[in-house]
């Protein structure tokens, strides 16, 4: 079954209350803590000493085990971390690698939160924060990281190289994006900046495959009045539905990677990592189901029209709110 179809079914089951019980025996942390530690070290600190590796493994027992009391995550989240960290390191789809990096971090930070201990009490998370500090956070582990700010420099370099002058003027990428972030009052509006690193990974990797028009559109992400067309989104991100990619429920990967990441894929398909996008995605599923019931057919190609979230002015902190957009386009 196609990933997009599975996402629709998963969300529909949640909406209808027919989702099956997800409780299972908690993951055996004696088995998974070493694997979590190895995946972390490979991704963040391959030069780590034996002593540091041992400390990380000890902390993974606590960070992964913190999910044991949650029936949805008990037997999946430690495995999902290993899978996300592995895909972040060597996944086949560039834009997906960036998202997986974020998901791996979110899993650990939420593990710390669920343990009841401060995030900075874990050496594991201190290592991550030193390598890539989160500059502006609005959910545990989710926010504007330094890697996202640095990605804006890379996007600007592509803009300059192409001679498009599509990026808003600013003294620095940090000034541009941090100012914009602090001017955003709606959490939905803040989702894209947290995915800048992943987005630019996809654009960079596929830059030479894009036409001049597509290149200009790719670097105009802050000033364009709508999302990229599905064809361009597919070229850049590997997924032809930008909203579902933004909502972290449609993350392209190879068949082999998907088979090796069953726990992670299950959580992704069920919107576990959607954060502020959960409500917009739920609204979208409801609209799609209603349209299909009325004989409208398959709406996967209509997502862009239904949810044309306006990015205009984002760089100046003037992003239009989701509520205003929804009212103007859907009437409620």
Closest CA to 196 of 105, 280, 131, 102: 102
Domain range for 207:
3-330
**Is residue 331's pLDDT more than 50?**
no
**Is residue 302's pLDDT more than 80?**
no
Q: What is the pLDDT of residues 137-159, one digit of tens each?
A: 988 999 999 999 999 999 999 99
Domain count, the chain: 1
Buried b (16+ CB within 10 A) or exposed e, 236-274: bbbbbbbbbbbbbbbbbbeeebeeebebbbbbbbbbbbb
Q: What is the pLDDT of residues 55-83, one digit of tens each?
A: 999 999 999 999 998 877 888 999 999 99
| pLDDT of amino acid 318 | 35
Strand-pairing partners, residue 142, are: 139
| pLDDT of amino acid 227 | 82
């Amino acid at each position: 079954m196609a990933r997009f179809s599975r996402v629709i079914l998963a969300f529909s089951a949640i909406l209808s209350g027919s989702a099956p019980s997800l409780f299972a025996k908690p993951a055996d942390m004696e088995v998974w803590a070493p694997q979590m530690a190895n995946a972390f070290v490979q991704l963040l600190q391959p030069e780590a000493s034996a002593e540091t590796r041992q400390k990380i493994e000890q902390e993974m027992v606590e960070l992964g085990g913190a999910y044991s009391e949650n029936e949805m995550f008990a037997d999946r989240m430690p495995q999902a971390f290993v899978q996300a960290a592995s895909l972040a390191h060597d996944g086949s789809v560039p834009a997906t690698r960036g998202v997986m990096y974020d998901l791996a971090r979110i899993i650990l930070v939420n593990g710390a939160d669920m343990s009841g201990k401060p995030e900075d009490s874990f050496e594991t998370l201190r290592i991550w924060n030193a390598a890539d500090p989160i500059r502006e956070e609005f959910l545990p582990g989710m926010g504007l990281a330094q890697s996202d700010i640095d990605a804006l420099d890379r996007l600007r370099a592509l803009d300059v190289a192409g001679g498009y002058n599509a990026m808003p003027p600013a003294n620095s990428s940090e000034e541009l994006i941090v100012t914009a972030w602090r001017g955003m009052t709606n959490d939905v509006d803040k989702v894209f900046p947290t995915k800048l690193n992943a987005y630019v990974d996809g654009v960079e990797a596929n830059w030479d495959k894009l036409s001049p028009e597509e290149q200009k559109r790719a670097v105009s992400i802050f000033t364009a009045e709508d999302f990229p067309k599905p064809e361009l989104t597919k070229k850049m991100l590997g997924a032809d539905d930008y909203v579902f990619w933004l909502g972290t429920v449609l993350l392209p990967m190879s068949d082999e990677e998907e088979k090796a990441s069953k726990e992670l894929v299950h959580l992704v398909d069920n919107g576990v990592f959607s954060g502020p996008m959960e409500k917009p995605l739920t609204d979208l599923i409801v609209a799609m189901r209603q349209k299909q019931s009325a004989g409208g057919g398959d709406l996967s190609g209509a997502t862009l029209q239904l949810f044309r979230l306006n990015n205009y002015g984002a760089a100046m902190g003037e992003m239009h709110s989701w509520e205003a957009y929804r009212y103007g386009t859907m009437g409620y």
